Chain A
Amino acid sequence: MSASTQPFRRDDGGLIDRNRPLSFRFDDRAYQGFDGDTLASALLANGIRLVGRSFKYHRPRGILSAGAEEPNALVELRSGARREPNTRATVTELFEGLEALSQNRWPSLAFDLLSVNSLLGPALQAGFYYKTFMWPASFWEKLYEPLIRRAAGLGRAAGLEDPDHYEKAFAFCDVLVIGGGPAGIAAALAAGRSGARVILCDEDGRFGGRLLAERREIDGQPAAVWLSAALAELASLPDVTIMPRSTVFGVYDHGVYGVVERVSDHLAVPPPHQPRQRSWRITARRAVLAAGAIERPIVFAGNDTPGVMLAGAVRSYLNRFGVLPGREAVVFTAGDDGWTTARDLAAAGVRVAAVVDPRSGIDPALTGLAGRIGARIITGAVAAAAGGRALRAVTVREASGREESIACDLLAVSNGWNPTLHLTSHQNTRPVWDEAIHAFVPGTMPVGLSVAGSAAGRFSLAEALADGARLGREAAADIGFDSAAEPATPITDPEGVALSPVWRVKGGKGKAFVDFQNDVTDADIELAAREGFKPVEHLKRYTTLGMATDQGKTSNIAGLAIMAEQTGQTIPQTGTTIFRPPYTPVAIGALAGHHRGRDFRPTRMSPTHSWSQRQGAVFIEAGAWMRAQYYPRPGETDWLTSVNREVLAVRNGVGLCDVSTLGKIDIQGADAADFLERVYCNGFKALQVGKARYGLMLREDGFVMDDGTTSRLGETHFLMTTTTANAGKVMQHLEFCHQVLWPRLDVRMVSVSEHWAQAAIAGPKARAVLQGVVDAEHDISNEAFPYLAARAVTVGGGIPARLFRISFSGELAYELAVPAGYGEAMMDAVMAAGSAHGITPYGTEALGVMRIEKGHVAGNELSGQTTARDLGLGKMMSSKKDYLGRLMARREALVEAERPCLIGFRPVDPAQRLRAGAHFIGIGKPATMQHDEGYMTSVAYSPVLGHWIGLGLLKNGPQRIGERIRAVDPVREGDVEIEICSPVFVDPEGTRLHG
């Protein structure tokens, strides 16, 4: 395959596979690139310069860099539900069929109507919006803001459910090496040779870092030779893991690193069962940061014109991708490094019109090079670039002030490099200024992290290799992995690193950009200084400098330098911003992993779940559980019909309900009773063996925490039940009480919630049914097994079970517990035994109706804001013992007479419906907060009474039975006259219970 369709592709060279052409589309036109290309290199190979429009002014923008720092070349990658906005073309590996659209332009990239903003530019300076759009106030939401919002933003999110899946993973290592360039590889080799477990990550799909972009020699041979040998050795070390396409995005406490691995992003769609991305939590005892450095642009008029490119990026495109970023180049450099670009351009056949360098006394080796490649040397600076959608010429100003225009389609800019030290500041430590290299270098480091090579401001290849080897070795040795003799550091070819940075060239015509992506100009920074936004955080927040998706990777320093110039301070006096994680933006899906949709959190299934399914249950989420809500029968069209039937079946006959979800805690020990005395507000010492008791637990602050029945199975053996919702919380609480408060108590506890399936059998015929289930040797007659009896029995011919005579419904009722595996068999056996009695399965709705009919409190009343007294349970609070919450429950506010207390309600007009959440207001009183007397906690339709009933908390409630009041429900436009009544609506004498 020839490169003829790619006019800017070099004939040979580079790390692309010319035998594997790939088709792709950009803005709906078809192009070709090669395997090994990035989208950016493929676009450049096809002569595409204009790739996007800027954020505020909609200026035409091209490709600035060849890496993750790219501020301009952001595209919408892929289409439909897979569309990924703001994707950097420079790090997007080309794949067959890739589709990308330019963004932030309308109607088209070449002709963008919003570029009119450029004309408004003078008014749209930093902070302009703080100064206007204030009148009239209502216009903000109606007019100004919608306009601003529509114009703002970059790409368009897919807006559809992401079809790909993600996962998480956890890894551990002795030494994590971040960055797979020469320093990182040397570090991984040194650590790996010692036997340490090493993980080497690089964001690129290919290891080698800058070596891939440079024409360098190591030990007298092309660097590629060293590189392949080093990678082969790493691959041979069993405890070294190499992770390509893996970005270490954040440094967290105690050696935890966040890493995102782009498993399938280099493919059109993920292969079957493969995630798109995987987010890793890597725990490393030591880490070496070898993330390299990021080249710095120079601020001058028109510096954002497509065709102005970082000089190092030019070398990447030439050498790694075999692409000519232009045909007529000018190099503008403030250091020796730019001259290398001139050399490489010439070697690739690009005409270098001039090398512009403001420095005097440049190394003659460099100036000699210019002569050999036929480039003019101009001592001066580029003051402006012109061309609009593609660079046509640059204005060069000599030291004398003389200006001339030089035609070119590529300007390579070199202003030195900033260490990629972002990760070092993730724990809020600040980088420090190194005057010798005119750059910030890492300051105080996160514990366990060291920095090698360019990331430490040691920019030469020789330093990278030496640093890497030394730090990799030291990191391993630090934790006990000693290497044999240190191998000699490889010898590299010479390189120049002299630099005298130029932050800004003033006086050119047009806007000079500091932050390309947020369209922050030098004038914006000057304005910020004028208005007093001088501290660097103010500068950043006022101008939005460094706040774009690139977090200012190419802009922060120039911004600081210009502010320093305005305030007459140095750069370090002006300050630096700390970089916040993530290093590069991370897909939300990746960090969520498996946990979305149904898998957001585990679902707990009762051991009788499939039995309920077979009975046709409608299920409902109840905290972590799925519970049977009701069991509709054919012909029942609404839930209330089903629930009414279930309630009446229980009240008139017998019903069966799964209650396995209750928390069950086995408590044993000589002091178990004493322990219960302290955690419950009511007494437990006197509870007889074989009996159950209702217990109420307070928090230490005196409010009710949880309730449940606790049974004494033996002298030193109790079984506590908790509410479903609080099971875990109560277990933790009891462990706290035992381990922290009262370690001297001889008590042991363990959750047995999962082992037991439990069902309530309730209704006048419950005993008759149970007698057909419980093995005959157990006498469960009313005399032998009275109310609140709790004993071990057997069922089904010897299966160990527990039977409790307790009732939530107020009926004669039992709870039967069997090992969970027998849960469904128990339900079947109870149904079979009950068939003659018309037994009916009932769900949580009917359970709720019956507990409201009986005035029992549940979750809506146990709100954490109620006291025992509020709930009518004040008498349970013992005065004879110390227990959790005893003293705080006595506080003034908790015993105030006026506190709303639990009471019952019924509508004066029985046809009217009640609603939980309605507030109580006196008849004739205005519905205002001042007249609010409480609220309805729970309501139900009572099929026994034939009308709605409610429980609620009302000021002086118990003293007001018979009084009428209103249940006001403005959010549902309800206002119902209700009568205050006893909270026990059914069988207030409790005769059914004892039947």
Chain B
Amino acid sequence: MRIACPHCGPRDVQEFSYLGDAKPQRPDGMDATEAAMADYVHQRDNPAGSHRELWYHGAGCHAWLVVTRDTRTHAIAAVETMAQARAGAPA
């Protein structure tokens, strides 16, 4: 598998480590509820199909990336920096 790091160019998957679904957003701040946090920490959509997920280019530029990848075929549709992902994310 190859991931095209927006900073470094296409690299072997061996250079990256995986965190998981990019969708859950941390409920920040003192007002956050335990239930919302438990959901953020544990619950996943885990779809068979397109999946936006967090990868870390640990053996490269240390960037966290959002990779849109099909979990059935491993085909990658997009690789974004966090800044790009935030800019393009639906409001």
Contact = CB atoms under 8 A, between A and B. Distances in A.
Contacts of B75: 447
B1 A252 contact: yes
A253 B74 contact: yes
A134 to B, nearest CB: 40
Interface string A707-750: 00000000000000000000010011001100111110000000
A582 B80 CA distance: 33
B1 A739 contact: no
A742 to B, nearest CB: 8
A633 interface: no
Interface stretch (A82-90, A386-394, A883-891, A914-922): A883-891
Nearest to A700: B41
A372 B19 CA distance: 73
Contacts of B56: 732, 735-736
Q: B-side binding surface: helix, strand, loop or mixed?
A: mixed
Given A732-B17, A732-B58, A888 B82 contact: no
A882 interface: yes
A283 interface: yes
Given A732-B56, A882-B28, A887-B34, A743 B82 contact: yes
Contacts of A851: none
Contacts of B64: 735-736, 739-740
Interface string A856-889: 0000000000000000000000000110000110
Interface in B1-45: 1-2, 12-13, 17, 19, 26, 28-30, 32-34, 37-38, 40-41
Nearest to B17: A732
Contacts of A887: 32-34, 37-38
Given A732-B17, A732-B56, A741-B26, A254 B38 contact: no
Contacts of A891: 34, 38
Given A253-B74, A732-B56, A732-B58, A888 B1 contact: no
A740 B54 CA distance: 9
A170 B34 CA distance: 48
B28 to A, nearest CB: 7
A589 interface: no
Interface in B37-86: 37-38, 40-41, 54, 56, 58, 62-64, 73-76, 82-83, 86
A430 interface: no
B41 A281 contact: no
* Most A Cβ at <10 Å: residue of B17, B26, B83: B26
A195 interface: no
Nearest to A281: B12
* Most B Cβ at <10 Å: residue of A447, A742, A887, A891: A887
A111 B26 CA distance: 73
Contacts of B86: 743
A255 interface: yes
Contacts of A739: 63-64, 82
A743 B81 CA distance: 12
Nearest to A254: B2
A595 to B, nearest CB: 13
A427 B72 CA distance: 10
A447 B58 CA distance: 27
Nearest to A879: B30
Interface string A692-708: 00000000110000000
B32 A882 contact: yes
A701 B41 contact: yes
Interface string A733-769: 0011001111100000000000000000000000000
Contact of B37 (A427, A740, A888): A888
Contact of A253 (B1, B32, B37, B38): B1
Contact of A882 (B13, B30, B33): B30
Contacts of B38: 887-888, 891
Nearest to A743: B82
Contacts of B30: 881-882
B18 to A, nearest CB: 11
Contacts of A888: 34, 37-38, 41
Contacts of A253: 1-2, 13, 74
A366 interface: no
Contacts of B54: 736, 740
Contacts of A882: 28-30, 32
Contacts of A170: 12
Interface in A345-394: none
Contacts of B82: 739-740, 743
A685 to B, nearest CB: 15
B51 to A, nearest CB: 14
Interface in A758-801: none
Contacts of B41: 700-701, 888
Contacts of A742: 28
Nearest to B31: A882
B1 A254 contact: yes
A891 B35 CA distance: 10
A881 B29 CA distance: 8
A731 B54 CA distance: 16
Contacts of B76: 254
A735 B75 CA distance: 26
Contacts of A890: 34
Contacts of B17: 732
A891 B33 CA distance: 11
A114 interface: no
A741 B40 CA distance: 13
Given A732-B56, A888-B38, A256 B2 contact: yes
Contacts of B62: 731, 735
A728 B64 CA distance: 15
Contact of A736 (B2, B19, B28): B19
A890 B74 CA distance: 38
Contacts of A728: 58
Nearest to A739: B64
A743 B83 contact: yes
Nearest to A731: B62
A739 B7 CA distance: 14
Contacts of B34: 887-888, 890-891
A881 B30 CA distance: 7
A168 to B, nearest CB: 11
B63 A254 contact: no
Nearest to A890: B34
* Most B Cβ at <10 Å: residue of A735, A881, A890: A735
B50 to A, nearest CB: 16
Contacts of A701: 41
Contacts of A741: 26, 28
A382 B58 CA distance: 64
A636 to B, nearest CB: 43
B76 to A, nearest CB: 7
A256 B38 CA distance: 39
Interface of B: 1-2, 12-13, 17, 19, 26, 28-30, 32-34, 37-38, 40-41, 54, 56, 58, 62-64, 73-76, 82-83, 86
10 contacts: A253-B2, A254-B74, A254-B76, A256-B1, A256-B12, A700-B41, A735-B62, A740-B64, A740-B82, A887-B34
Given A254-B74, A891-B38, 20 more contacts: A254-B2, A254-B76, A256-B2, A728-B58, A731-B62, A732-B17, A735-B64, A736-B19, A739-B63, A740-B64, A741-B28, A742-B28, A882-B28, A882-B32, A887-B32, A887-B33, A887-B34, A887-B37, A888-B37, A890-B34
Interface of A: 170, 252-256, 281, 283, 427, 447, 700-701, 728, 731-732, 735-736, 739-743, 881-882, 887-888, 890-891
**Nearest 4 A/B pairs, CB to CB:** A253-B1, A254-B2, A887-B37, A739-B64
